[in-house]
Amino acid sequence: MKNLSGHLKIEASRRPCHRAFTLVEIMVALSILAFVITAVYASWQAVLRASKAGQAAAREAQFTRIAMRTLTDGLMSAQMFAANMRYYSFMADTSSDFAYLSFVACLPKSFVGSGLFGDLAVRRITFSVEQGADSGYNLVLTQQPLLVETNVNEELGPTVLAKNVSLFQLDFWDERKREWAPEWLPTNQLPKLVRVSLGYGEAGRYRTKTESIETRVVAIPGIVIPPLFQMGRGPGAPGMQPGVRPGVQPGVRPGVQPGVRPGVRPGVRPGVRPGG
């Protein structure tokens, strides 16, 4: 019996011992897992912030391009007729925090919103800055056809060209002083050069913070059409034959004075021989 019990003790000592994790080991493993999850979540948040910032920058650049392109196309298409000055006045107000610009232009088909007006290419366009629903400021374009029925006064809804606008400034080239002027007082004239500055930023409680500014100089090729040409009394007026200069009778050959027969030398009376 003694040998048997000793043998059992020896066999029991040779069997493998299965031990469980201690509480300290479990806490260390959970801590490591928490650190790994925190690092993954932080990296994911960084990727999301970078993606959001990139999308915001791309959207802002797109808005800037559209706004500047619209301003440039509008100013380059400006026109004015002196005989109807009350309809074609060029109005620019730079006295407030944001500028205000309104004028008449013959707009191309590629202009923003031209498809809504059909063949009404001559329209008064207005650029202004208005407060948006999200407490920011938006650059808004308003268009009104000039050649419409008198009983049509409804304007189409304004078009938001840019959001989060913190700066909209206009400067005009003064040819007499040869420098930029911050205001344009004559409403019956078109400036030669206009410098447009457009800034973007987040709106605060009392003011907006400008983060980026886009500036462009636009040359206006249009001139004020005088009433003489508008009423049809200038060159090319109705009733005048093409190629005939004003003051020249039709049917008279060039170089021949009216009332003088061809072949008769100047200073010689008809029927009198020279030297007789």
Model confidence pLDDT, tens digit, residues 166-204: 899 999 999 899 999 999 999 999 999 999 999 887 654
Instruction: Average the pLDDT over 147-157 and give the result.
Output: 57
Q: With pLDDT > 70 as the criterion, what percentage of the chain qualifies?
A: 70
Domain count, the chain: 1
Instruction: Output DSSP code: residue 78.
Output: B
pLDDT mean over 250-262: 54
Listed residue (79, 142, 80, 126) closest to 106, CA to CA: 79
Please give the residue range of the domain that contains residue 178.
Answer: 60-103+161-228
Q: 204 lies in a domain?
A: yes
Residue 125, in any domain of the structure: no
6 is a domain residue: no
Q: Is residue 180 part of a domain?
A: yes
- What are the start-end ranges of the E strands in 148-264? 159-162, 165-174, 179-181, 193-200, 212-219, 224-225
Q: What is the mean pLDDT of the chain?
A: 79
In a domain, 196, yes or no: yes
**37 found inside a domain:** no
268 inside domain = no
Within a domain: residue 47? no
pTM, whole model, 2 decimals?
0.64
The stretch 90-115 carries a mean pLDDT of 92
| pLDDT at 61 (0 to 100) | 76
